[in-house]
Structure 1
Amino acid sequence: MTAPLVIAPDPLAACPPLLRWLLERSAPDDEALVLLNPSRSLEELYGSWLQAGHLPSVIRLIAGVLPARENVWWAWVSARFAAQAPGAKAPPAAVHTALAAVEQWIVRPDDDARRKAWDVGNAAGLDTPVGMVAAAVFLSGNTVAPPNVPPVPPPPGAALPLISGAILMAGAASGDPLQLAPTLTAFAAQGVEIIKRLNGWDAALQLAFDTHQRLTQEYARATAAPAAPAVPPAR
């Protein structure tokens, strides 16, 4: 006899809409969700996860509320650390070239700098922290199509996994397991400083949500199927 299908309870059911959106966006680990208390502030949630050592979930939570350029800067700082970490293997010249190209986009986020970061990031390797940051730069623009053709916007939020992935990878750059938690904790502190400059968690979350809604609408318009031509009435 087939066992009846059991549907697990929704751990986000009691969350306010904005918090639910953020948690769905940042995909925290199940162990971190156990500590979720929807009545507490987002800052308190961050603190409880940090204290419990749920650092990957902490990194993804911060990435979920930061704007694209600030996210790239945060991940770039982490990737630069990875290239200089004590005990890490000396990176090839392509990594330093990619770090410089991403920095140029942060300073001047135009399309030429974005495409240059993508090209040199590929050369450094998309399996490196800076390569992932360069890919996030590319996905933070208005189009993923080649120049001089109609724009094809990236899906909203496509860069987020690359940001958190680059930071988590950079945290392990030294190869010393004992340094992983302190390094990720330091990276998280840098991210929180950016959130403070955005007037705190709630303001940053509202900005992230509003931006995502706008980009989603633009993406839907850009990718909508063309309207069928009108059929003339029969005579």
Structure 2
Amino acid sequence: QPSEICFKNNLPNTNKLTKNEKVLRDYLLYRYFFGTDRVMIFGEGKTDKSHLQHYLNFRSEENLPVPSSFDEWKGIQFGNFENKLFNVISGSGGTGDINKLIESYGGWCKDFHKDISQKPLIILVDNDVGSKKINQTIQDIKKPQKAIGEEDFYHIYHNMYVIYLPKINNGETDIESFYSEDILDVEVDGRFFEKSKKISDKGKYSKSLFASRTVPQNHTLTDWSKFDQIFERVQLAIEDFQSR
């Protein structure tokens, strides 16, 4: 299992891998990224995959924004950067590791065999100031005409795409931005939702609890059509990859 895979000392220097560690890195890259036979979406945040899966679970099949069948959409696989699989990048997960993967993916995978079953690998990132390093990397690689984040998707190397969350109300956008105040204000055991990673107030609860408990228990309060904007971009990236 990828969550059980780790390098020696758990935190390798990825610029000085041993021969065996490089073999392991290449295997993981091919198995879970380059050679994936299902559309794979890695969210920047630890809980992003839960919210995306909630969309597929609770969104009505009527009036979907994409031409493909809903069954095909349910075949999408979701992951995040918060497990030991990402010791292949720098050791801890998070934005720095995502940027390392984006920068290095072309070189790391240049000698890999492309199978006909290969599907796109999509990196979904927040559209906020925390994505500054990723923004610069994409600027250097793609040199886009529009401001970073305004394009529907960015094809980076091979089967890799980067998609920014569409901006909500022209402000900084993370996955929780797609929920209305009705669900953001739901009380759980006398506590209220707080986006901050460090919660010192005992009257607040975390993103993890919001994703695992508040949303599924109160999904009827959510306008799931707001998430259509994300999946419209995903669909466009899938179609672009199919055309290459």
TM-score range, shorter chain: under 0.3
- Greater strand content: 2
Under a length normalisation based on structure 2, what TM-score does the superposition of the two structures give? Answer: 0.24
Q: Which has the higher helix share?
A: 1
